[in-house]
Amino acid sequence: MSVAPCTERPVALIDLLDRLLQGGVVLTGDLVLSIADVDLVRIDLRAVIAPVAASALSQISEAPCPRPPAV
């Protein structure tokens, strides 16, 4: 079904989670849920995902970059 990138090995789930939960374009900040004029439903997965496989995913939800904090 899918077109895999040019690797022989199947893609590891944890590598995908690093990228799809922490990377990717984020379109807006907080999740707003009302009925009428909600523009976007943005699910903050890192919040809901914490109970899931906590041992692995807790690593993912920590700020990864040792960059100087932007002030």
Site for another protein in 35-64 (CB under 8 A): 38-43, 45, 48-49, 51-53, 55-60, 62, 64
Sign of CA dihedral 23, 49, 55, 66: positive
Q: Could you give the CA distance from residue 5 to residue 9 in angstroms, rounded to a whole number?
A: 10
Site for another protein in 8-27 (CB under 8 A): 11-27
Output 15 or 69, the one with its CB closest to another protein: 15
17 near 57, Cβ under 8 Å?
Answer: yes
Among 65, 68, 69, 71, binds another protein (CB under 8 A): 65
